[in-house]
Structure 1
Amino acid sequence: MLKKKITKILVGTNNTGKLREIKDLLPKNLKIYSTADFNIKSPPENGKTFKENSLIKARYFSKKAKMICLSDDSGLEIDILDGAPGIHSARWGGKKGDFIKAMNKVFKELDKKNRNWKTEKIKARFICALTIYGPNQKTINSIGKIEGHISPYMKGKNGFGYDPIFIPKGKKITFGEMKVSQKYRIDHRFKAFKKIKKFL
């Protein structure tokens, strides 16, 4: 059992889009810190799964800041690309994390696999692994997924990362076209968060 309710937490990410989304999901009575408050750079992510990378980040940031940390590792899996970009989702954007470049790489790889992919529904999913780790704290993990398919074109300016090319199952528009409030109610991060929010 947890020793006591968590009252303050470090969000272990240097990705401003993720930080914003996680902050919006966290309870309002929680004191939230970011890695920028401690000037901590990100660790190497050498895990083989989203869960492993999430734990690597949570443990690293927690030890640096000496406080409980919530870390996220998430990405896009595309079936026809054997699950790529997967855990390398951020790396497809290069050192500067340029997601226009990353999305164009997705299109290029899909072209190589199937010249007519734009006329088909290319199955994909977003996955999010969340980990809570810290001093006197039982480590907590959760995974959230949302199925969907790849849009043939980038659409919408909302969200971040691969949002402009992902159309969730049952919807006609990309995450990039959705209102933030609409996306938050269904996305992978929300699903993962629902499983751990009772600890916060």
Structure 2
Amino acid sequence: MKKIKNLLIGTNNKGKLKEIRALLPKYIKTYSTSDFNLKSPRESGKTFADNSIIKSKYFSKKTNLLCLADDSGLEIDILDKAPGIYSARWGGKNLDFKKAIKRVYRELDKKDKDWRNKKIKARFICVLSVSFLSKTIKCVKGKVEGTISNIPKGKNGFGYDPIFIPIGKKFTFGEISPKLKYKSDHRFKAFKKIKKFL
């Protein structure tokens, strides 16, 4: 298969854009949705995979470019896997993740007043899809298991990174260096599966 030279990264999330660019081989010229002033489509899917594919097809059709899109989020077991596919929406219209994190803590308090003394199981899930126009070429999933931190820690990363402690680690994704995070998170795991294709 011939090497891909041009690729649109189908996200309006600057944090994701930066991370995906850091993972891609250098010979690929990447474009972002903001290069084309594209707004994101309505994510009406029921799963991460549905929403990832909605985005990669939509952005590809708009630009005629091969598109790699990501749908990812945080699942917390005790909250019946919420926020899940609604992870970004918990941040409201402005994607304010401080607000989203406060909501996570509010929901946990409602479920169990004593949750801070327990290990609250959670995972980050990322589904990457590559589409060209209306054809989906590849769709893969990566996940990383962990627990929820009692308080947000660290200024690195984005989204829910400050409250997620990966299994076997003492620090949140918000506390570790981006380089280290890129080598261990859910996006990297999904990326390893899709890399053969790139």
The TM-score bracket by the shorter chain reads over 0.9
Q: Assess if the C-alpha contact under 8 Å between 1:75 and 1:85 holds in 2.
A: yes
Residue matched to 2:94: 96
Letter in 2 for 1:112: K
Letter in 2 for 1:183: K
Q: How does 1:41-52 map to 2 (within 5 A)?
A: 41-52=39-50
Residue matched to 1:177: 175
Map Cα deviations across residues 132-181 of structure 1 (whole Å, 9 max, x no partner): 00159761010000000000000000000000000000000100000111
Letter in 2 for 1:179: S
For 2:76, which of 75, 78, 82 is the aligned residue? Answer: 78
Residue matched to 2:104: 106
For 1:25, which of 20, 23, 36 is the aligned residue? Answer: 23
Letter in 2 for 1:134: F
Q: CA deviation at 1:39?
A: 0.8
Q: Assess if the C-alpha contact under 8 Å between 2:57 and 2:135 holds in 1.
A: no
Structure 1 CA distance for aligned equivalents of residues 78 and 169 of structure 2: 21
Report the TM-score, using the length of structure 2 for normalisation. 0.98
Q: CA deviation at 1:5?
A: 2.2
Q: CA deviation at 1:198?
A: 1.2
Structure 2 CA distance for aligned equivalents of residues 95 and 5 of structure 1: 38
**C-alpha RMSD of matched pairs (Å):** 1.1
Letter in 1 for 2:112: N
Q: Assess if the C-alpha contact under 8 Å between 2:51 and 2:71 holds in 1.
A: yes
Residue matched to 1:133: 131
Structure 2 CA distance for aligned equivalents of residues 8 and 98 of structure 1: 31
Residue matched to 2:116: 118
Q: Assess if the C-alpha contact under 8 Å between 1:68 and 1:137 holds in 2.
A: no
Structure 2 CA distance for aligned equivalents of residues 149 and 136 of structure 1: 38
Residue matched to 1:145: 143
SS at match of 2:127: strand
Q: Assess if the C-alpha contact under 8 Å between 2:60 and 2:66 holds in 1.
A: yes
**Residue 58, structure 1, aligned to residue 56, structure 2:** yes
Structure 2: tracts of 5 or more residues without a match: none
Q: CA deviation at 1:182?
A: 1.0
Residue-pair matches, total: 198
Structure 2 CA distance for aligned equivalents of residues 176 and 91 of structure 1: 20
Q: Assess if the C-alpha contact under 8 Å between 2:123 and 2:144 holds in 1.
A: yes
**Residue 165, structure 1, aligned to residue 194, structure 2:** no
What percentage of residue pairs aligned between the two structures are identical?
Answer: 65
1:75–1:16 CA distance, 2 compared to 1 (3 A):
same
Map Cα deviations across residues 21-54 of structure 1 (whole Å, 9 max, x no partner): 0000000000000001111100000000000000
Q: Assess if the C-alpha contact under 8 Å between 1:165 and 1:174 holds in 2.
A: yes
Structure 1: tracts of 5 or more residues without a match: none
Q: Assess if the C-alpha contact under 8 Å between 1:42 and 1:57 holds in 2.
A: yes
Report the TM-score, using the length of structure 1 for normalisation. 0.97
Map Cα deviations across residues 80-118 of structure 1 (whole Å, 9 max, x no partner): 000000000000000000000000000000000000000
